[in-house]
């Protein structure tokens, strides 16, 4: 009963937290925002690796893995990001706190199902461009959320397949204020866009013992290209900016924009790893996203170019002795990983890439293998070349993974 109460509380909190801005990055200006990591704290603590799956944790990235569940699982995770943003001449600090996912998995014999909500993209920036006589200020907020339903099936004891269906929804608000030297009034443009659409993700997983005590795991996921519908309203206002910086609207004009479709690219992920069940695991994976196919007719990005993106991850975990009765820390799970990612954005001739190293620990609690997971990530994104922004960040991650037994047969003597 306690776990059901905890899950209900997390569901209420998610209604507020999921919708909050999860980024302060100027690179969220491009496209429909910064793409959020779809995975658990356990994954992120291993460099984002999703190859491994077991019977007591949800794997949100590969729907085939849900067929491995043997207990009902409730999971929720959040993060705090502290970032230093710097150019060649200046620097500033920013932070963001978000609830990253809320999900539940249910085993059903050879089948398994999971559902939940998590952020898909996030927009949060404040930029300024100053020329000889013109000052332009840009701000953006919002993003997209994803509600998903996944189904996995155990074809054989070694091979699983799965599919998840995702309903993506959200809104983005972009503002720009242009003032020119010598003119009393400026111009503010405010574009509000509602985004919605469906997409699917297919997964497969294969496990086999290659020697006594040594297991090989391979996995693959594929997300086809999809289209999102964008419905927008543009408001153009003449404004007076006071000496204290307050923006005073004078008159405005609102128009409804034509509905358009945004093409979101396909993505393929392949991974493999080896390990000793319930003891240790090490693996790697590669992702290719056809970001060059991204198309958004509603925005003019100027000097930006979208190119295909590649992502590389390596990571693993170690459990000293999972069944230890004498040492709590021997039953803990210790995780480590690293990643290198191409975002698919080329700006002013510079590829915007991201890398990070991560580590964490899973702390057991209760009798049904429930656990608290804590992780940390240190990394960097972007460059200071050609007037761009480099972000050095430190992420603190925490999650709950709670297990329970449902549908038990009870016998009365």
State residue 19's pLDDT score: 44
DSSP 131-185: -SSEEEEEEEEEEEEEEEEEEEEEEETTEEEEEEEEEEEEEEEEEEEEEETT-S-
Name the burial class of residue 211, with classes exposed (0-12), middle (13-18) and buried (19+) by CB atoms within 10 angstroms of its CB: exposed
For 60-93, the pLDDT digits (tens) are 999 999 999 999 999 999 999 999 999 888 889 9
Give the domains, in start order, of the chain with CATH numbers.
2-29+56-309+320-330+368-404 (2.40.160.60)
- Phi and psi of 208, rounded to 5°? -155, 150
pLDDT beyond 90 at 133? no
Between residues 359 and 257, which one has the greater pLDDT?
359
Name the burial class of residue 346, with classes exposed (0-12), middle (13-18) and buried (19+) by CB atoms within 10 angstroms of its CB: middle
pLDDT, average across residues 362-386:
92
State residue 10's pLDDT score: 47
For residue 124 the two structure tokens come to 């949060």
Length of the chain: 413
SS3 string, 216-246, reads EEEEEEEECCEEEEEEEEEEEEEEEECCCCC
For 267-280, the pLDDT digits (tens) are 999 999 999 999 99
pLDDT, average across residues 234-243:
81
State residue 73's pLDDT score: 94
For residue 212 the two structure tokens come to 């006594």
For 100-126, the pLDDT digits (tens) are 999 999 999 999 999 999 999 899 888
State residue 407's pLDDT score: 58
State residue 126's pLDDT score: 85
Q: Specify whether the CB–CB gap between 222 and 201 falls below 8 A.
A: yes
For residue 137 the two structure tokens come to 């200020």
Q: What is the pTM of this model?
A: 0.87
pLDDT beyond 70 at 408? no
Confidence bin at 7 (pLDDT 50/70/90): very low
Confidence bin at 127 (pLDDT 50/70/90): confident
Q: Give the Cα separation of 221 and 203 in Å (integer).
A: 4
Confidence bin at 349 (pLDDT 50/70/90): confident
Q: Which long-range contacts (CB under 8 A, 24 or more apart) does 323-329 make?
A: 328/364
Q: Give the Cα separation of 286 and 277 in Å (integer).
A: 23
State residue 176's pLDDT score: 87
Which residues make Cβ contacts (< 8 Å) with residue 315, sequence separation at least 6? 45, 46, 47, 48, 49, 282, 283, 284, 335, 336, 337, 338, 358
- Phi and psi of 289, rounded to 5°? -115, 130
pLDDT, average across residues 218-240:
90
Confidence bin at 1 (pLDDT 50/70/90): very low
Q: Give the Cα separation of 382 and 389 in Å (integer).
A: 6
State residue 323's pLDDT score: 85
Report the SS3 class of residue 307: coil
Closest among 392, 379, 270 to 44, alpha carbons compared = 379
pLDDT beyond 50 at 231? yes
Task: Return the minimum-mean-pLDDT range out of 133-142, 179-188, 286-295.
Answer: 179-188
pLDDT beyond 80 at 232? yes
Confidence bin at 409 (pLDDT 50/70/90): low
């Amino acid at each position: 009963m306690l776990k059901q109460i905890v899950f209900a509380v997390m569901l209420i909190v998610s209604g507020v937290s999921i919708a909050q801005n999860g980024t302060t990055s100027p690179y969220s200006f491009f496209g429909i925002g910064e793409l959020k990591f779809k995975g658990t704290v356990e994954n992120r603590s291993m460099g984002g690796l999703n190859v491994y799956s077991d019977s007591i944790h949800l794997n949100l990235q590969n729907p085939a893995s849900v067929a491995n569940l043997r207990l009902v699982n409730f999971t929720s995770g959040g993060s705090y990001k502290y970032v230093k943003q710097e150019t060649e001449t200046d620097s500033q600090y920013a932070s963001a706190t978000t609830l990253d996912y809320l999900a539940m998995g249910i085993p059903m014999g050879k089948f398994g199902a999971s559902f939940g909500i998590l952020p898909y993209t996030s927009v949060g920036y404040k930029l300024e461009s100053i020329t000889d006589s013109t000052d332009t200020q840009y701000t953006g907020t919002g993003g997209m959320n994803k509600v998903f339903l996944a189904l996995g099936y155990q074809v054989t004891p070694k091979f699983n397949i799965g599919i998840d269906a995702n309903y993506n929804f959200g809104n983005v608000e972009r503002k720009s204020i242009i003032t020119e030297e010598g003119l009393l009034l400026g111009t503010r443009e405010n574009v509000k866009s509602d985004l919605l659409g469906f997409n699917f993700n297919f997964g497969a997983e294969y496990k086999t013992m290659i020697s006594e005590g040594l297991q090989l795991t391979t996995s693959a996921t594929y997300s086809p290209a999809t289209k999102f519908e964008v419905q927008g309203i543009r408001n153009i206002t003449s404004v007076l900016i006071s000496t204290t910086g307050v923006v005073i609207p004078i008159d405005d004009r609102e128009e409804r924009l034509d509905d358009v479709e945004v093409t979101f690219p396909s993505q393929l992920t392949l991974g493999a790893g080896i390990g000793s069940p319930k003891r240790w695991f090490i693996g790697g994976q590669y992702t290719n996203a056809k970001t060059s196919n991204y198309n958004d007719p509603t925005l003019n990005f100027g000097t930006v170019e979208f190119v295909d993106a590649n992502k590389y991850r390596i990571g693993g975990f170690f459990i000293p002795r999972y069944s230890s009765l004498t040492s709590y820390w021997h039953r803990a799970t210790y995780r480590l990983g690293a990643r290198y990612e191409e975002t698919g954005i080329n700006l002013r001739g510079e590829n915007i890439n991201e890398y990070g190293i991560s580590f964490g620990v899973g702390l057991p609690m209760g009798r049904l293998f429930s656990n608290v997971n804590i992780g940390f990530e240190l990394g960097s994104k972007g460059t200071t070349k050609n007037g761009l922004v480099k972000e050095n960040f430190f992420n603190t991650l925490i999650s709950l993974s709670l297990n329970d037994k449902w549908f038990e047969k009870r016998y009365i003597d």
